Protein backbone atom coordinates (compact mmCIF):
# COMPACT_ATOMS: atom_id res chain seq x y z
CA UNK A 1 0.00 0.00 0.00
CA UNK A 2 2.90 2.34 0.79
CA UNK A 3 4.25 2.08 -2.76
CA UNK A 4 0.82 3.09 -4.14
CA UNK A 5 0.79 6.24 -2.01
CA UNK A 6 4.32 7.02 -3.22
CA UNK A 7 3.22 6.72 -6.86
CA UNK A 8 0.17 8.94 -6.27
CA UNK A 9 2.34 11.58 -4.56
CA UNK A 10 4.88 11.33 -7.39
CA UNK A 11 2.16 11.87 -9.99
CA UNK A 12 0.74 14.74 -7.92
CA UNK A 13 4.15 16.42 -8.10
CA UNK A 14 4.46 15.85 -11.86
CA UNK A 15 1.09 17.57 -12.41
CA UNK A 16 1.83 20.44 -10.03
CA UNK A 17 0.81 23.09 -12.59
CA UNK A 18 -2.66 21.46 -12.77
CA UNK A 19 -3.37 21.48 -9.03
CA UNK A 20 -5.84 24.40 -9.14
CA UNK A 21 -7.87 22.63 -11.84
CA UNK A 22 -7.89 19.43 -9.80
CA UNK A 23 -9.12 21.38 -6.76
CA UNK A 24 -11.86 22.95 -8.88
CA UNK A 25 -12.83 19.52 -10.19
CA UNK A 26 -13.01 18.09 -6.67
CA UNK A 27 -15.16 21.03 -5.49
CA UNK A 28 -17.57 20.60 -8.37
CA UNK A 29 -17.76 16.85 -7.76
CA UNK A 30 -18.56 17.46 -4.06
CA UNK A 31 -21.29 19.97 -4.95
CA UNK A 32 -22.83 17.65 -7.59
CA UNK A 33 -22.84 14.60 -5.29
CA UNK A 34 -24.27 16.60 -2.39
CA UNK A 35 -27.09 17.67 -4.69
CA UNK A 36 -27.67 14.03 -5.74
CA UNK A 37 -28.25 13.05 -2.10
CA UNK A 38 -30.30 16.20 -1.52
CA UNK A 39 -32.55 15.24 -4.42
CA UNK A 40 -33.16 11.80 -2.87
CA UNK A 41 -33.83 13.40 0.51
CA UNK A 42 -36.41 15.81 -0.94
CA UNK A 43 -38.00 12.93 -2.88
CA UNK A 44 -38.50 11.07 0.41
CA UNK A 45 -40.26 14.13 1.83
CA UNK A 46 -42.48 14.29 -1.27
CA UNK A 47 -43.52 10.65 -0.65
CA UNK A 48 -44.50 11.48 2.93
CA UNK A 49 -46.44 14.53 1.70
CA UNK A 50 -48.22 12.33 -0.86
CA UNK A 51 -49.28 9.90 1.88
CA UNK A 52 -50.55 12.87 3.93
CA UNK A 53 -52.08 14.45 0.77
CA UNK A 54 -50.45 17.79 1.65
CA UNK A 55 -50.70 19.59 -1.72
CA UNK A 56 -48.98 22.82 -0.63
CA UNK A 57 -45.93 20.91 0.71
CA UNK A 58 -45.80 18.79 -2.45
CA UNK A 59 -45.74 21.90 -4.69
CA UNK A 60 -42.97 23.53 -2.63
CA UNK A 61 -40.88 20.33 -2.64
CA UNK A 62 -41.32 19.85 -6.40
CA UNK A 63 -40.02 23.41 -6.95
CA UNK A 64 -37.09 22.66 -4.63
CA UNK A 65 -36.41 19.47 -6.61
CA UNK A 66 -36.35 21.46 -9.87
CA UNK A 67 -33.84 23.88 -8.34
CA UNK A 68 -31.68 20.98 -7.14
CA UNK A 69 -31.82 19.36 -10.60
CA UNK A 70 -30.83 22.66 -12.25
CA UNK A 71 -27.92 23.22 -9.84
CA UNK A 72 -26.80 19.61 -10.14
CA UNK A 73 -26.69 19.84 -13.93
CA UNK A 74 -24.98 23.22 -13.76
CA UNK A 75 -22.26 21.79 -11.48
CA UNK A 76 -21.87 18.81 -13.84
CA UNK A 77 -21.63 21.16 -16.84
CA UNK A 78 -18.82 23.18 -15.25
CA UNK A 79 -17.12 19.95 -14.20
CA UNK A 80 -17.16 18.63 -17.78
CA UNK A 81 -16.02 22.02 -19.10
CA UNK A 82 -13.11 22.05 -16.64
CA UNK A 83 -12.11 18.55 -17.77
CA UNK A 84 -12.19 19.51 -21.46
CA UNK A 85 -10.36 22.84 -21.11
CA UNK A 86 -7.84 22.12 -18.38
CA UNK A 87 -7.56 18.36 -17.87
CA UNK A 88 -7.96 15.36 -20.26
CA UNK A 89 -5.99 16.34 -23.41
CA UNK A 90 -3.89 18.91 -21.53
CA UNK A 91 -2.82 16.26 -19.01
CA UNK A 92 -1.89 13.91 -21.85
CA UNK A 93 0.21 16.59 -23.55
CA UNK A 94 1.86 17.55 -20.27
CA UNK A 95 2.94 14.00 -19.40
CA UNK A 96 4.32 13.49 -22.92
CA UNK A 97 6.27 16.76 -22.72
CA UNK A 98 7.49 15.82 -19.24
CA UNK A 99 8.71 12.42 -20.47
CA UNK A 100 10.45 13.97 -23.49
CA UNK A 101 12.26 16.53 -21.35
CA UNK A 102 13.36 13.87 -18.84
CA UNK A 103 14.62 11.49 -21.54
CA UNK A 104 16.45 14.25 -23.44
CA UNK A 105 18.01 15.27 -20.13
CA UNK A 106 19.82 11.94 -19.83
CA UNK A 107 23.35 11.53 -21.15
CA UNK A 108 24.25 9.96 -24.49
CA UNK A 109 25.83 7.13 -22.49
CA UNK A 110 22.46 6.23 -20.97
CA UNK A 111 20.74 6.18 -24.36
CA UNK A 112 23.43 3.93 -25.81
CA UNK A 113 23.50 1.52 -22.88
CA UNK A 114 19.68 1.09 -22.62
CA UNK A 115 17.50 -0.64 -25.22
CA UNK A 116 15.58 2.15 -26.98
CA UNK A 117 12.59 -0.01 -28.09
CA UNK A 118 12.04 -1.28 -24.54
CA UNK A 119 12.40 2.24 -23.17
CA UNK A 120 9.88 3.57 -25.70
CA UNK A 121 7.42 0.78 -24.81
CA UNK A 122 7.76 1.49 -21.08
CA UNK A 123 7.26 5.23 -21.59
CA UNK A 124 4.28 4.85 -23.94
CA UNK A 125 2.54 2.36 -21.66
CA UNK A 126 3.44 4.36 -18.56
CA UNK A 127 2.02 7.60 -19.98
CA UNK A 128 -1.20 5.86 -21.02
CA UNK A 129 -1.64 4.25 -17.61
CA UNK A 130 -0.91 7.55 -15.83
CA UNK A 131 -3.77 9.16 -17.78
CA UNK A 132 -5.97 6.10 -17.11
CA UNK A 133 -5.32 6.29 -13.36
CA UNK A 134 -6.02 10.02 -13.20
CA UNK A 135 -9.19 9.56 -15.25
CA UNK A 136 -10.27 6.67 -13.01
CA UNK A 137 -9.59 8.66 -9.84
CA UNK A 138 -11.33 11.82 -11.06
CA UNK A 139 -14.28 10.19 -12.84
CA UNK A 140 -14.86 7.18 -10.53
CA UNK A 141 -12.98 7.11 -7.23
CA UNK A 142 -13.51 10.69 -6.02
CA UNK A 143 -17.21 10.89 -7.02
CA UNK A 144 -17.84 7.44 -5.52
CA UNK A 145 -16.08 8.26 -2.25
CA UNK A 146 -17.84 11.61 -2.01
CA UNK A 147 -21.30 10.18 -2.66
CA UNK A 148 -20.61 7.19 -0.40
CA UNK A 149 -19.62 9.48 2.48
CA UNK A 150 -22.57 11.85 2.10
CA UNK A 151 -25.00 8.94 1.62
CA UNK A 152 -23.65 7.15 4.70
CA UNK A 153 -24.03 10.27 6.88
CA UNK A 154 -27.60 10.74 5.57
CA UNK A 155 -28.40 7.06 6.20
CA UNK A 156 -26.93 7.20 9.70
CA UNK A 157 -29.15 10.18 10.56
CA UNK A 158 -32.19 8.27 9.27
CA UNK A 159 -31.39 4.80 10.68
CA UNK A 160 -28.19 4.26 12.70
CA UNK A 161 -28.68 0.45 12.87
CA UNK A 162 -29.03 0.00 9.12
CA UNK A 163 -26.16 2.46 8.57
CA UNK A 164 -23.88 0.30 10.73
CA UNK A 165 -24.99 -2.83 8.85
CA UNK A 166 -24.31 -1.15 5.51
CA UNK A 167 -21.04 0.31 6.83
CA UNK A 168 -19.59 -3.19 7.24
CA UNK A 169 -19.21 -3.56 3.48
CA UNK A 170 -16.60 -0.84 2.89
CA UNK A 171 -13.82 -1.89 5.36
CA UNK A 172 -14.33 -5.55 4.40
CA UNK A 173 -13.88 -4.73 0.70
CA UNK A 174 -10.81 -2.55 1.40
CA UNK A 175 -9.04 -5.26 3.43
CA UNK A 176 -10.07 -7.92 0.92
CA UNK A 177 -8.69 -5.90 -2.00
CA UNK A 178 -5.48 -5.01 -0.18
CA UNK A 179 -4.46 -8.61 0.47
CA UNK A 180 -5.57 -9.77 -2.94
CA UNK A 181 -3.69 -7.05 -4.84
CA UNK A 182 -0.57 -7.69 -2.76
CA UNK A 183 -0.55 -11.32 -3.94
CA UNK A 184 -1.53 -10.28 -7.49
CA UNK A 185 1.22 -7.64 -7.93
CA UNK A 186 4.14 -9.98 -8.85
CA UNK A 187 1.91 -11.83 -11.32
CA UNK A 188 0.89 -8.56 -12.99
CA UNK A 189 4.55 -7.41 -13.07
CA UNK A 190 5.57 -10.60 -14.87
CA UNK A 191 2.68 -10.07 -17.27
CA UNK A 192 3.95 -6.56 -18.05
CA UNK A 193 7.49 -7.83 -18.71
CA UNK A 194 6.15 -10.51 -21.06
CA UNK A 195 4.24 -7.92 -23.09
CA UNK A 196 7.28 -5.59 -23.20
CA UNK A 197 9.51 -8.40 -24.50
CA UNK A 198 7.02 -9.16 -27.25
CA UNK A 199 6.86 -5.45 -28.12
CA UNK A 200 10.66 -5.39 -28.33
CA UNK A 201 10.61 -8.13 -30.99
CA UNK A 202 8.01 -6.26 -33.05
CA UNK A 203 9.82 -2.93 -32.68
CA UNK A 204 13.13 -4.41 -33.82
CA UNK A 205 11.44 -6.04 -36.83
CA UNK A 206 9.88 -2.70 -37.81
CA UNK A 207 12.99 -0.58 -37.27
CA UNK A 208 15.26 -3.05 -39.12
CA UNK A 209 12.74 -4.13 -41.75
CA UNK A 210 15.14 -3.75 -44.67
CA UNK A 211 17.86 -5.80 -42.98
CA UNK A 212 15.37 -8.49 -41.90
CA UNK A 213 14.16 -8.95 -45.48
CA UNK A 214 17.65 -8.81 -47.02
CA UNK A 215 18.79 -11.53 -44.61
CA UNK A 216 15.63 -13.56 -45.29
CA UNK A 217 14.73 -13.62 -41.58
CA UNK A 218 10.99 -12.81 -41.86
CA UNK A 219 9.86 -16.30 -40.82
CA UNK A 220 12.37 -16.42 -37.96
CA UNK A 221 10.95 -13.19 -36.51
CA UNK A 222 7.43 -14.59 -36.80
CA UNK A 223 8.56 -17.80 -35.06
CA UNK A 224 10.21 -15.81 -32.26
CA UNK A 225 7.09 -13.67 -31.90
CA UNK A 226 4.79 -16.70 -31.72
CA UNK A 227 7.08 -18.41 -29.19
CA UNK A 228 6.84 -15.34 -26.96
CA UNK A 229 3.06 -15.46 -27.37
CA UNK A 230 3.04 -19.12 -26.32
CA UNK A 231 4.96 -18.14 -23.18
CA UNK A 232 2.82 -15.04 -22.60
CA UNK A 233 -0.74 -16.34 -22.99
CA UNK A 234 -0.90 -19.01 -20.23
CA UNK A 235 0.41 -16.60 -17.59
CA UNK A 236 -1.78 -13.75 -18.89
CA UNK A 237 -4.94 -15.88 -18.80
CA UNK A 238 -4.10 -17.24 -15.33
CA UNK A 239 -3.55 -13.69 -13.99
CA UNK A 240 -6.69 -12.29 -15.66
CA UNK A 241 -8.94 -15.18 -14.56
CA UNK A 242 -7.67 -14.94 -10.99
CA UNK A 243 -8.60 -11.24 -11.03
CA UNK A 244 -12.02 -11.98 -12.56
CA UNK A 245 -12.83 -14.73 -10.03
CA UNK A 246 -11.95 -12.48 -7.12
CA UNK A 247 -14.05 -9.65 -8.56
CA UNK A 248 -17.05 -11.96 -8.96
CA UNK A 249 -16.73 -13.08 -5.32
CA UNK A 250 -16.64 -9.46 -4.07
CA UNK A 251 -19.63 -8.53 -6.22
CA UNK A 252 -21.63 -11.48 -4.82
CA UNK A 253 -20.76 -10.42 -1.26
CA UNK A 254 -21.92 -6.80 -1.86
CA UNK A 255 -25.13 -7.83 -3.65
CA UNK A 256 -26.02 -10.35 -0.92
CA UNK A 257 -25.54 -7.73 1.79
CA UNK A 258 -27.70 -5.25 -0.15
CA UNK A 259 -30.57 -7.78 -0.24
CA UNK A 260 -30.21 -8.35 3.52
CA UNK A 261 -30.36 -4.58 4.14
CA UNK A 262 -33.48 -4.29 1.97
CA UNK A 263 -35.15 -7.13 3.90
CA UNK A 264 -34.32 -5.51 7.25
CA UNK A 265 -35.67 -2.12 6.06
CA UNK A 266 -38.93 -3.70 4.81
CA UNK A 267 -39.34 -5.60 8.09
CA UNK A 268 -38.91 -2.39 10.08
CA UNK A 269 -41.41 -0.54 7.85
CA UNK A 270 -44.01 -3.29 8.28
CA UNK A 271 -43.45 -3.02 12.04
CA UNK A 272 -44.29 0.69 11.89
CA UNK A 273 -40.78 1.90 12.75
CA UNK A 274 -40.51 4.29 9.78
CA UNK A 275 -42.65 6.30 7.41
CA UNK A 276 -42.76 5.35 3.72
CA UNK A 277 -40.58 8.33 2.71
CA UNK A 278 -37.95 7.37 5.30
CA UNK A 279 -37.87 3.79 3.99
CA UNK A 280 -37.46 5.19 0.46
CA UNK A 281 -34.54 7.31 1.69
CA UNK A 282 -32.96 4.36 3.53
CA UNK A 283 -33.22 2.08 0.48
CA UNK A 284 -32.05 4.88 -1.84
CA UNK A 285 -28.98 5.70 0.30
CA UNK A 286 -28.19 1.99 0.80
CA UNK A 287 -28.44 1.45 -2.94
CA UNK A 288 -26.09 4.37 -3.64
CA UNK A 289 -23.61 3.11 -1.04
CA UNK A 290 -23.56 -0.45 -2.44
CA UNK A 291 -23.40 0.84 -6.00
CA UNK A 292 -20.45 3.09 -5.21
CA UNK A 293 -18.68 0.37 -3.24
CA UNK A 294 -18.87 -1.73 -6.41
CA UNK A 295 -17.52 1.23 -8.41
CA UNK A 296 -14.67 1.66 -5.95
CA UNK A 297 -14.02 -2.07 -5.94
CA UNK A 298 -13.69 -2.09 -9.73
CA UNK A 299 -11.47 1.02 -9.72
CA UNK A 300 -9.27 -0.41 -6.96
CA UNK A 301 -8.90 -3.55 -9.05
CA UNK A 302 -7.92 -1.63 -12.19
CA UNK A 303 -5.68 1.04 -10.63
CA UNK A 304 -3.11 -1.38 -9.11
CA UNK A 305 -2.76 -3.01 -12.53
CA UNK A 306 -1.94 0.40 -13.98
CA UNK A 307 0.46 1.05 -11.10
CA UNK A 308 2.56 -1.90 -12.27
CA UNK A 309 3.24 -0.03 -15.53
CA UNK A 310 3.55 3.36 -13.82
CA UNK A 311 6.18 1.97 -11.42
CA UNK A 312 8.39 1.03 -14.38
CA UNK A 313 7.67 4.36 -16.08
CA UNK A 314 8.67 6.33 -12.96
CA UNK A 315 11.80 4.20 -12.68
CA UNK A 316 12.77 5.32 -16.20
CA UNK A 317 11.84 9.01 -16.00
CA UNK A 318 13.29 9.42 -12.50
CA UNK A 319 16.73 8.38 -13.66
CA UNK A 320 19.28 11.07 -13.04
CA UNK A 321 21.92 11.80 -15.71
CA UNK A 322 24.90 9.49 -15.26
CA UNK A 323 27.14 12.53 -15.00
CA UNK A 324 26.77 16.31 -14.84
CA UNK A 325 26.78 17.82 -18.34
CA UNK A 326 26.71 21.41 -17.09
CA UNK A 327 29.79 23.56 -17.12
CA UNK A 328 31.31 26.79 -18.33
CA UNK A 329 30.53 28.37 -21.68
CA UNK A 330 32.59 30.72 -23.81
CA UNK A 331 35.91 28.88 -23.63
CA UNK A 332 37.90 28.84 -26.87
CA UNK A 333 38.11 25.32 -28.31
CA UNK A 334 40.70 26.36 -30.91
CA UNK A 335 43.49 25.20 -28.56
CA UNK A 336 45.63 22.11 -28.19
CA UNK A 337 43.72 19.12 -26.82
CA UNK A 338 45.80 17.25 -24.26
CA UNK A 339 45.02 13.74 -22.97
CA UNK A 340 47.05 12.93 -19.85
CA UNK A 341 47.08 9.37 -18.47
CA UNK A 342 43.40 8.80 -19.38
CA UNK A 343 41.84 5.43 -18.61
CA UNK A 344 38.24 4.51 -19.36
CA UNK A 345 35.95 1.47 -19.21
CA UNK A 346 32.41 1.28 -20.62
CA UNK A 347 29.65 0.71 -18.01
CA UNK A 348 29.00 -2.81 -19.29
CA UNK A 349 32.54 -3.46 -20.46
CA UNK A 350 34.75 -6.14 -18.94
CA UNK A 351 38.11 -4.61 -19.87
CA UNK A 352 39.33 -0.99 -20.16
CA UNK A 353 38.69 0.65 -23.54
CA UNK A 354 41.49 3.15 -22.84
CA UNK A 355 44.51 2.36 -20.72
CA UNK A 356 46.68 5.27 -19.45
CA UNK A 357 46.57 7.18 -22.74
CA UNK A 358 48.58 10.37 -23.16
CA UNK A 359 48.89 12.45 -26.36
CA UNK A 360 48.38 15.94 -27.80
CA UNK A 361 46.02 16.95 -30.60
CA UNK A 362 47.53 20.20 -31.95
CA UNK A 363 45.19 23.11 -32.65
CA UNK A 364 44.53 23.94 -36.29
CA UNK A 365 46.09 20.68 -37.50
CA UNK A 366 44.72 17.33 -38.67
CA UNK A 367 45.28 14.45 -36.27
CA UNK A 368 44.32 10.89 -37.17
CA UNK A 369 43.77 7.87 -34.91
CA UNK A 370 44.38 4.47 -36.48
CA UNK A 371 44.42 0.90 -35.23
CA UNK A 372 42.60 -2.38 -35.37
CA UNK A 373 38.92 -2.63 -34.42
CA UNK A 374 38.50 -2.35 -30.64
CA UNK A 375 41.78 -0.51 -30.19
CA UNK A 376 40.05 2.50 -28.59
CA UNK A 377 39.92 4.95 -31.52
CA UNK A 378 36.18 5.68 -31.41
CA UNK A 379 36.30 5.88 -27.60
CA UNK A 380 38.52 8.94 -27.98
CA UNK A 381 35.81 10.56 -30.11
CA UNK A 382 33.06 9.69 -27.60
CA UNK A 383 35.03 11.19 -24.72
CA UNK A 384 35.71 14.37 -26.69
CA UNK A 385 31.96 14.70 -27.32
CA UNK A 386 31.29 14.03 -23.62
CA UNK A 387 29.08 11.12 -24.60
CA UNK A 388 30.82 9.29 -21.77
CA UNK A 389 32.62 10.61 -18.73
CA UNK A 390 36.16 9.46 -18.06
CA UNK A 391 37.08 8.84 -14.43
CA UNK A 392 40.86 8.59 -14.53
CA UNK A 393 43.43 11.06 -15.90
CA UNK A 394 42.64 14.41 -17.47
CA UNK A 395 41.62 15.92 -20.80
CA UNK A 396 42.23 19.62 -21.34
CA UNK A 397 41.44 21.99 -24.18
CA UNK A 398 43.93 24.78 -23.66
CA UNK A 399 43.84 25.47 -19.93
CA UNK A 400 40.28 24.22 -19.40
CA UNK A 401 39.37 20.72 -18.27
CA UNK A 402 36.98 18.97 -20.68
CA UNK A 403 34.69 18.03 -17.77
CA UNK A 404 34.35 21.71 -16.84
CA UNK A 405 32.99 22.67 -20.28
CA UNK A 406 29.22 22.64 -20.73
CA UNK A 407 28.39 19.61 -22.89
CA UNK A 408 25.84 21.46 -25.07
CA UNK A 409 28.26 24.33 -25.64
CA UNK A 410 31.04 21.86 -26.46
CA UNK A 411 28.96 19.90 -28.99
CA UNK A 412 27.69 23.08 -30.62
CA UNK A 413 31.31 23.90 -31.48
CA UNK A 414 32.24 20.43 -32.73
CA UNK A 415 31.31 19.33 -36.24
CA UNK A 416 30.78 15.57 -35.94
CA UNK A 417 30.41 13.04 -38.76
CA UNK A 418 29.97 9.39 -37.80
CA UNK A 419 30.34 6.19 -39.85
CA UNK A 420 26.61 5.94 -40.53
CA UNK A 421 25.19 9.46 -40.66
CA UNK A 422 21.85 9.59 -38.88
CA UNK A 423 19.31 11.44 -41.01
CA UNK A 424 15.73 12.36 -40.18
CA UNK A 425 12.81 11.61 -42.50
CA UNK A 426 12.86 15.20 -43.69
CA UNK A 427 14.28 17.39 -46.45
CA UNK A 428 17.96 17.73 -47.33
CA UNK A 429 17.69 21.36 -46.21
CA UNK A 430 16.33 20.56 -42.74
CA UNK A 431 18.79 17.73 -42.19
CA UNK A 432 21.70 20.08 -42.88
CA UNK A 433 20.28 22.91 -40.77
CA UNK A 434 19.35 20.58 -37.89
CA UNK A 435 22.18 21.79 -35.63
CA UNK A 436 21.70 25.49 -36.40
CA UNK A 437 19.95 27.66 -33.75
CA UNK A 438 16.65 29.13 -34.97
CA UNK A 439 18.08 32.65 -34.58
CA UNK A 440 20.79 31.88 -37.17
CA UNK A 441 18.70 29.77 -39.54
CA UNK A 442 18.12 32.43 -42.22
CA UNK A 443 21.77 33.44 -42.20
CA UNK A 444 22.96 29.83 -42.49
CA UNK A 445 20.28 28.94 -45.06
CA UNK A 446 21.83 31.54 -47.39
CA UNK A 447 25.09 29.52 -47.17
CA UNK A 448 23.60 26.22 -48.39
CA UNK A 449 25.07 26.49 -51.90
CA UNK A 450 28.54 27.29 -50.57
CA UNK A 451 28.36 24.50 -47.99
CA UNK A 452 26.99 22.13 -50.63
CA UNK A 453 30.02 22.79 -52.81
CA UNK A 454 32.46 22.20 -49.93
CA UNK A 455 30.70 18.98 -48.86
CA UNK A 456 30.55 17.79 -52.49
CA UNK A 457 26.75 17.62 -52.42
CA UNK A 458 26.97 19.44 -55.73
CA UNK A 459 28.28 16.18 -57.21
CA UNK A 460 24.82 14.61 -56.88
CA UNK A 461 22.55 17.60 -57.46
CA UNK A 462 21.18 15.79 -60.52
CA UNK A 463 19.85 13.06 -58.20
CA UNK A 464 17.86 15.55 -56.14
CA UNK A 465 15.66 16.70 -59.03
CA UNK A 466 13.79 20.01 -59.14
CA UNK A 467 13.20 20.00 -55.38
CA UNK A 468 16.93 20.02 -54.69
CA UNK A 469 17.25 21.15 -51.04
CA UNK A 470 13.60 20.30 -50.40
CA UNK A 471 14.05 16.68 -51.47
CA UNK A 472 12.81 14.23 -48.82
CA UNK A 473 15.56 11.77 -47.88
CA UNK A 474 13.31 9.08 -46.35
CA UNK A 475 13.65 7.29 -43.02
CA UNK A 476 17.33 7.31 -42.00
CA UNK A 477 18.20 8.63 -45.49
CA UNK A 478 17.06 5.47 -47.26
CA UNK A 479 16.54 7.34 -50.57
CA UNK A 480 20.21 8.31 -50.70
CA UNK A 481 23.39 6.30 -51.13
CA UNK A 482 25.87 5.89 -48.30
CA UNK A 483 28.24 8.44 -49.81
CA UNK A 484 25.44 10.97 -50.29
CA UNK A 485 24.36 10.55 -46.65
CA UNK A 486 27.96 11.12 -45.54
CA UNK A 487 28.21 14.32 -47.57
CA UNK A 488 24.98 15.64 -46.04
CA UNK A 489 26.52 14.77 -42.65
CA UNK A 490 29.63 16.78 -43.54
CA UNK A 491 27.48 19.72 -44.65
CA UNK A 492 25.58 19.53 -41.34
CA UNK A 493 28.87 19.51 -39.45
CA UNK A 494 30.45 22.50 -41.19
CA UNK A 495 27.47 24.83 -41.65
CA UNK A 496 27.67 25.87 -37.99
CA UNK A 497 31.36 26.83 -38.48
CA UNK A 498 32.69 24.66 -35.63
CA UNK A 499 36.06 25.09 -33.97
CA UNK A 500 36.72 21.33 -34.03
CA UNK A 501 35.89 18.81 -36.76
CA UNK A 502 35.56 15.18 -35.75
CA UNK A 503 35.22 12.40 -38.32
CA UNK A 504 34.61 8.99 -36.77
CA UNK A 505 35.16 6.29 -39.44
CA UNK A 506 33.38 8.63 -41.87
CA UNK A 507 34.55 6.67 -44.95
CA UNK A 508 34.65 3.13 -43.53
CA UNK A 509 31.52 1.91 -45.34
CA UNK A 510 32.07 3.73 -48.66
CA UNK A 511 33.30 2.51 -52.02
CA UNK A 512 36.44 4.06 -53.53
CA UNK A 513 34.53 6.62 -55.63
CA UNK A 514 32.45 7.92 -52.72
CA UNK A 515 35.48 7.70 -50.44
CA UNK A 516 37.31 10.09 -52.76
CA UNK A 517 34.44 12.57 -52.76
CA UNK A 518 34.19 12.47 -48.98
CA UNK A 519 37.95 12.73 -48.45
CA UNK A 520 38.15 15.68 -50.83
CA UNK A 521 35.35 17.30 -48.85
CA UNK A 522 37.13 16.62 -45.54
CA UNK A 523 40.41 18.03 -46.87
CA UNK A 524 38.61 21.15 -48.09
CA UNK A 525 36.60 21.91 -44.93
CA UNK A 526 39.36 21.07 -42.43
CA UNK A 527 41.83 23.75 -43.51
CA UNK A 528 42.87 25.79 -40.48
CA UNK A 529 40.62 23.88 -38.09
CA UNK A 530 41.47 21.35 -35.41
CA UNK A 531 40.48 18.19 -37.25
CA UNK A 532 40.33 14.71 -35.75
CA UNK A 533 39.94 11.68 -38.01
CA UNK A 534 39.24 8.24 -36.62
CA UNK A 535 39.96 5.78 -39.42
CA UNK A 536 40.58 2.18 -40.22
CA UNK A 537 41.71 2.76 -43.81
CA UNK A 538 45.19 4.26 -43.84
CA UNK A 539 44.61 5.74 -47.29
CA UNK A 540 42.32 8.31 -45.66
CA UNK A 541 44.96 9.59 -43.19
CA UNK A 542 48.25 9.55 -45.13
CA UNK A 543 48.30 13.34 -45.35
CA UNK A 544 47.40 14.00 -41.70
CA UNK A 545 49.76 16.28 -39.79
CA UNK A 546 49.91 13.70 -37.00
CA UNK A 547 48.91 10.05 -36.79
CA UNK A 548 48.41 8.33 -33.43
CA UNK A 549 48.50 4.53 -33.46
CA UNK A 550 46.23 2.72 -30.96
CA UNK A 551 46.47 -0.89 -29.81
CA UNK A 552 44.27 -2.52 -27.14
CA UNK A 553 43.35 0.83 -25.59
CA UNK A 554 46.90 2.18 -25.48
CA UNK A 555 48.88 4.65 -27.58
CA UNK A 556 51.77 2.73 -29.12
CA UNK A 557 53.16 5.25 -31.62
CA UNK A 558 52.76 8.76 -33.02
CA UNK A 559 54.10 10.83 -35.89
CA UNK A 560 53.59 11.50 -39.58
CA UNK A 561 52.91 8.73 -42.08
CA UNK A 562 56.51 8.73 -43.31
CA UNK A 563 57.93 8.72 -39.77
CA UNK A 564 55.71 5.85 -38.65
CA UNK A 565 56.50 3.76 -41.72
CA UNK A 566 60.17 3.97 -40.70
CA UNK A 567 59.87 3.64 -36.90
CA UNK A 568 56.65 1.87 -35.84
CA UNK A 569 56.22 -1.90 -36.14
CA UNK A 570 52.50 -1.57 -35.31
CA UNK A 571 51.98 0.95 -38.11
CA UNK A 572 54.03 -1.14 -40.52
CA UNK A 573 51.78 -4.11 -39.78
CA UNK A 574 48.67 -1.99 -40.43
CA UNK A 575 50.13 -0.86 -43.75
CA UNK A 576 51.05 -4.43 -44.68
CA UNK A 577 47.52 -5.69 -43.96
CA UNK A 578 46.01 -3.05 -46.27
CA UNK A 579 48.37 -3.41 -49.21
pLDDT confidence of residue 291 = 86
In this prediction, residues 297-316 reach a mean pLDDT of: 82
Q: Quick check: 195 and 229 in contact, CB under 8 A? A: no
Q: Which residues contact 178 (CB under 8 A, 6 or more apart)?
A: 1
- Is pLDDT at 544 greater than 70 in this prediction? yes
Domain limits, CATH 3.40.50.300, in the chain:
327-413+500-507+528-579, 416-497
**pLDDT tens-digit readout, 359-368:** 999 998 989 9
pLDDT confidence of residue 437 = 81
- Is pLDDT at 37 greater than 90 in this prediction? yes
Q: Which residues contact 174 (CB under 8 A, 6 or more apart)?
A: 300
Listed ranges 106-110, 215-219, 276-280, 506-510; the one with the highest mean pLDDT: 276-280
The full DSSP string for 180-210 is: HHHHHHHHHHHHHHHHHHHHHHHHHHHHTHH
**pLDDT tens-digit readout, 64-119:** 999 999 999 999 999 999 988 888 889 988 998 898 888 888 888 877 766 666 77
d(CA 430, CA 257): 67
- Is pLDDT at 579 greater than 60 in this prediction? no
Going by C-alpha positions, the residue among 377, 367, 408, 368 that lies closest to residue 496 is 408
The full DSSP string for 388-435 is: S---EEEEEETTEEGGGB-HHHHHHTEEEE-SS----SSBHHHHHGGG
Report which of residues 217 and 531 the model is more confident about: 531
Pairing of strands 392-397, 400-401: antiparallel
Sheet holding 392-397, edge to edge: 354-361, 337-344, 392-397, 400-401
Tell me which of 3.30.9.10, 1.10.10.10, 3.40.50.170, 1.20.1560.10 is the CATH number of domain 2-317: 1.20.1560.10
pLDDT confidence of residue 209 = 65
In this prediction, residues 266-288 reach a mean pLDDT of: 86
d(CA 479, CA 414): 27
Query: Which of 224-233, 267-276, 345-354, 453-462 is predicted least confidently?
Result: 453-462
Domain limits, CATH 1.20.1560.10, in the chain:
2-317
| Overall pTM > 0.85 | no
Q: What is the share, in percent, of the chain residues with pLDDT greater than 70?
A: 92
**pLDDT tens-digit readout, 401-450:** 999 999 889 988 888 888 788 888 888 888 888 888 888 888 888 888 88
d(CA 539, CA 527): 19
pLDDT confidence of residue 478 = 79
Domain spanning 327-413+500-507+528-579: CATH superfamily: P-loop containing nucleotide triphosphate hydrolases (3.40.50.300)
For 117, the 3-state DSSP assignment is helix
φ and ψ of 531, to 5 deg: -120, 130
Q: Which residues contact 489 (CB under 8 A, 6 or more apart)?
A: 417, 418, 421, 423, 506
Residue 235: pLDDT band by 50, 70, 90 thresholds?
confident
In this prediction, residues 205-220 reach a mean pLDDT of: 67
Tell me which of 3.40.190.10, 3.40.50.620, 3.40.50.1820, 3.40.50.300 is the CATH number of domain 416-497: 3.40.50.300
Average pLDDT, the chain: 84
Q: What is the share, in percent, of the chain residues with pLDDT greater than 90?
A: 21
**pLDDT tens-digit readout, 318-347:** 888 888 888 888 888 888 999 999 999 988
In this prediction, residues 224-251 reach a mean pLDDT of: 81
Q: Quick check: 264 and 165 in contact, CB under 8 A? A: yes
Report which of residues 357 and 294 the model is more confident about: 357
d(CA 313, CA 124): 9
Amino acid sequence: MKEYFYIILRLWKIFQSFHKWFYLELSLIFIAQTLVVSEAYVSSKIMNALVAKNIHTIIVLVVVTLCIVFLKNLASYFQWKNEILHLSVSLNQHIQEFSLRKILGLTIEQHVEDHSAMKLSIINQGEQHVINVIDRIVSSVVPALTLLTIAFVTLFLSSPRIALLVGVVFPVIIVWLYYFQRSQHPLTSKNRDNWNNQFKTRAEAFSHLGLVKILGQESQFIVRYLKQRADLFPHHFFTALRQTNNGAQRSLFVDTLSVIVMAVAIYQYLGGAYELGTIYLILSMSSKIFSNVNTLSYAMREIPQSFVHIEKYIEVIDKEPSFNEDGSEGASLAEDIVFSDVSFQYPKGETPALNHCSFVIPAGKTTAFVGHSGSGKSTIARILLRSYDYKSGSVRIGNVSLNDIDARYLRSHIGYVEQHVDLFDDTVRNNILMAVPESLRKEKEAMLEEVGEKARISEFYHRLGDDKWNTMVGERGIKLSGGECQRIGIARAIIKDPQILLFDEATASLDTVNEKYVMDAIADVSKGKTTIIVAHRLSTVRNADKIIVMEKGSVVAGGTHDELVRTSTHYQNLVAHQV
